[in-house]
Structure 1
């Protein structure tokens, strides 16, 4: 076959997922995940130094506010531009380049007006755009790499903690900003504040030099030998640290290697093959972006308008706010892996929405002091921050690997445009009325979109916890390999008509798999020869239920398939047969899941 179209057999995804947690994983987290600290630093520093920019450089209030929109526009543009290149040229190349772009932008920001050549605002605006352009690219490159390098069993908690580290940067910025701006000359404090981001980026860039390319990306882009070398190198580091051989990975997959995916194919995959997942992704990302940006970007204005807080001390109120936002994903993250996405994602979205209604009503009634109001927002965003991070996790893990970065970029761009532009304008106008009731109506709108997003995920979301990425969304190259093999046998789909994921998978968590009154309605030819032939139909039903609805305990699985209609002992026999044949695997304590090979065969479930 021509290069780039060869069908290969590989166990690399299973080998990456079965790795124990070691120092190598901490290297990945520290070198890739800490970039959100920089984003939080940038946004918060910009808000804290606004008055100093006016005094030092003579910027108007409109110019200072406009620079925030320029930064956001740069982030949106960068996400779309770098997202496509990340899928085409690899994770490592792009997360090195995007961090370099950020460093150039933030360093240029700190030098605004230093030479006294004039055109200060033009320089500042361009520098802010470049800074955002780099940060936007980081969202796509980093979330893709993190999800592809982390073991499936801890992917949820790691992703949430990393995305939540944005608020560690906000906490750092609020603390350092107050220190710099109160102890240094006004023309120097804001420059050092921005320069701090550049210094942190240099350290992160040095760490990233030791991070390998994603073996999963290499595998699907015609570089199987390099993927094998990288995986063996990672395994050797892990074995050396744990001082014992790694268990053998048995689950194998077939894929057809390819070079790149075009925009038309990306659009068809997202909106034709996986429309329900697209609805879920848009709902989660849009809702969290609206509430977050609307509240956070206008928080200082609200404090000064309704409570008469000195603008110079607004940063002090951001410190507990940022701390709550950081602790939420960190402490709740393990529950997203243990209790599951379909419990925690709707739960955090809906709970944060309900709490927003309560705090908003108390605020409108004049029952909250500024301290109590701040405490209320800390509690709300303890849950809302976990919900927001889960939005990025959901988009990242529910679409095929070949388009993962571009999908993240697309949803990030839409969500940021809605939240970063419409949200602050909407709430800013409400605050300008200086009427608590009007602002309460705004809080109701924010709460409504959060609750609605939680409901959407409850009905359409997938149970993706502890499942391999390939089991959640089969790579396009896997589907093509399957079609190619079937076409060679003369029974595949017609050329130009890719196989759609099994329609039965949509909303699988709530689906009934009941056969008719005690026997399987599936043909016996689907089962194995020998003693297990009699329960082959029931075994197929169990596999489908686990592949489409996600891992389950024995009792959950029994209820899901309504095994009481099957007859005495048939559920137990089918489950034992599935374990013996490795079509069903253990997915944690007292939980069972479908083997990756079965998930690939069934199209992974859910559209």
Structure 2
């Protein structure tokens, strides 16, 4: 079996690797597109359906509830039924419900459809990151996983452009509906492409399907998609994997056998989710009004800031397989904390141009940090638990995304903006500190086969 995986790691980069990277990266693009679009049209929902501030905030918060549920539950399903089935089903789920969101007729219907859409996106987190880790040669694994997640910045940039040139030029009740329909169209195109991606050979081998795993490895080596060998066989019992392991059995095995790895994944994801979503929520609620940024300029503000994010993600993608995970990740998180302090200093000037420059730099560091984290904790779990481990780490992280805006708002209201920004910086330091014991005792994933990561 190890010889089979060694063939995967020796394979030259070819069109199969490129196609997998693009087809799976669209999932991150859609997540960013959805989140950014809703942030841009939340005021329209408030006016159209006469929502209170609490009701409007729940339009954003319900997304994290769905992500949490989808990542954890569908993470287990991806380990149980395969990566391919899940990353096709989850994209179909996202596309269907975001399309239906375009026809939401009132606040309750919007909330239900947002929740169901978010479950589909949360499921993507686990299935996509597991699949990328298992297909890509070890020497390219870090930068490819990071490249997939750089589609997030592309999605945010696309959402800003759609807001500027579509939503803002249509009647308020029509523009947001057209945007959700546009997202469904992208999902449809990506779903058609994903149909040709084979099942993960590592997942097949872990479930006893060695002949199918060998056929998929041959596809990858030859750089072709073969419809007769996509690896869709039913799982058979493998020697090291309990057949039909239940949801709770998977979770219990993670906690009992890999507690420190699960803790690392959970802390890294909690840190980045609290820091990243806290940054954007605090910017919109407190900083932009304080420096008098007009509503018409806000999309440009995010567009420029996400160009910085893309640069941060590309930089990290280059560093992961050169400097390694143990250096790249803690440095990126520490720089993200420093970026928040730069935002605090820029806010004190009351000049929106300094704030824009500081936000662009802060977003560069923030995006670089979370993009460095996902490849790191995606590769430290064994194949039969990988998707569940990723999903559980993401589920814990969404607690940070859910709670950080509330905590920052409370601190800013009672103590002022500067203490709140100090709290925001401390969120990022959680991830930096979590990497310290891993630096000394953990496994460095740079260029190391996945099978060697869990010995």
Do the two structures share a fold, i.e. TM-score over 0.5? yes
Please report how far the alpha carbon of residue 433 of structure 1 lies from its aligned counterpart in structure 2 after TM superposition.
5.2
Q: Distance in 2 between the 1:83 and 1:281 partners?
A: 14
Q: Distance in 2 between the 1:124 and 1:268 partners?
A: 36
Please report how far the alpha carbon of residue 218 of structure 1 lies from its aligned counterpart in structure 2 after TM superposition.
0.7
Q: Distance in 2 between the 1:435 and 1:363 partners?
A: 15
Within 5 Å, which residues of 2 pair with 1:331-342? 331-342=315-326
Q: Distance in 1 between the 2:211 and 2:359 partners?
A: 51
Q: Is the 8 A contact 1:75 1:137 kept in 2?
A: yes
Q: Is the 8 A contact 2:339 2:365 kept in 1?
A: no
Q: Is the 8 A contact 1:80 1:413 kept in 2?
A: yes
Matched with 2:285 is 301
Matched with 1:396 is 378
Matched with 1:378 is 360
| Gap change, CA 1:255 and 1:282, over 3 Å in 2 | same
C-alpha deviations, 1:247-274, integer Å up to 9, x for none? xxxxxxx965653434454345433332
Q: Is the 8 A contact 2:326 2:439 kept in 1?
A: yes
Q: Is the 8 A contact 1:287 1:449 kept in 2?
A: yes
- Alignment of 1:105 with 2:105, yes or no, is no
Within 5 Å, which residues of 2 pair with 1:140-539? 140-237=126-223, 256=240, 259-263=243-247, 265-360=249-344, 362-363=345-346, 366-367=348-349, 369-418=351-400, 420-432=401-413, 435-473=416-454
Q: Is the 8 A contact 2:88 2:194 kept in 1?
A: yes
C-alpha deviations, 1:448-478, integer Å up to 9, x for none? 43442343443444211111111111xxxxx
C-alpha deviations, 1:477-499, integer Å up to 9, x for none? xxxxxxxxxxxxxxxxxxxxxxx
C-alpha deviations, 1:54-77, integer Å up to 9, x for none? 333444433222111112111111
Matched with 1:138 is 124
Q: Is the 8 A contact 1:289 1:416 kept in 2?
A: yes
C-alpha deviations, 1:314-370, integer Å up to 9, x for none? 22211122111122121231211011111111211122223433442x146x23622
* SS of corresponding position for 2:349: coil
Structure of greater Rg: 1
Please report how far the alpha carbon of residue 234 of structure 1 lies from its aligned counterpart in structure 2 after TM superposition.
2.7
Greater relative contact order structure (CA < 8 Å, 6+ sep): 2
Matched with 1:29 is 21
Q: Is the 8 A contact 2:305 2:360 kept in 1?
A: yes
Q: Is the 8 A contact 2:272 2:370 kept in 1?
A: yes
Q: Distance in 2 between the 1:391 and 1:178 partners?
A: 32
Judging by fraction of residues, say which structure has more helix: 2
Q: Distance in 1 between the 2:379 and 2:253 partners?
A: 14
My pick for the range that moved more, 299-308 or 332-341, is 299-308
Q: Distance in 2 between the 1:237 and 1:71 partners?
A: 38
Please report how far the alpha carbon of residue 200 of structure 1 lies from its aligned counterpart in structure 2 after TM superposition.
0.3
Q: Is the 8 A contact 2:70 2:119 kept in 1?
A: yes
C-alpha deviations, 1:13-66, integer Å up to 9, x for none? 111111111111111011111110000000000000111223334444332221
| Gap change, CA 1:447 and 1:407, over 3 Å in 2 | closer
- Alignment of 1:89 with 2:71, yes or no, is no
* SS of corresponding position for 1:466: coil
Q: Distance in 2 between the 1:378 and 1:255 partners?
A: 50
Q: Is the 8 A contact 2:337 2:426 kept in 1?
A: no
Please report how far the alpha carbon of residue 197 of structure 1 lies from its aligned counterpart in structure 2 after TM superposition.
0.7
C-alpha deviations, 1:509-564, integer Å up to 9, x for none? xxxxxxxxxxxxxxxxxxxxxxxxxxxxxxxxxxxxxxxxxxxxxxxxxxxxxxxx
Q: Distance in 1 between the 2:362 and 2:109 partners?
A: 38
Q: Is the 8 A contact 1:55 1:186 kept in 2?
A: no
C-alpha deviations, 1:350-397, integer Å up to 9, x for none? 22223433442x146x23622212212222332321221222212210
Q: Distance in 2 between the 1:74 and 1:409 partners?
A: 12
* SS of corresponding position for 1:338: coil
Aligned length: 444
Matched with 2:63 is 71
Q: Is the 8 A contact 1:363 1:436 kept in 2?
A: no
TM-score by length of 1: 0.69
Q: Distance in 2 between the 1:225 and 1:291 partners?
A: 45
Q: Is the 8 A contact 1:34 1:204 kept in 2?
A: yes
Q: Is the 8 A contact 1:110 1:192 kept in 2?
A: yes
Please report how far the alpha carbon of residue 172 of structure 1 lies from its aligned counterpart in structure 2 after TM superposition.
1.0
Q: Which structure 1 segments of 5+ residues have no match? A: 1-8, 114-119, 241-253, 474-603
TM-score by length of 2: 0.91
Matched with 2:231 is none
Q: Distance in 2 between the 1:371 and 1:446 partners?
A: 26
CA RMSD in angstroms, aligned pairs only = 2.3
Q: Distance in 2 between the 1:351 and 1:15 partners?
A: 38
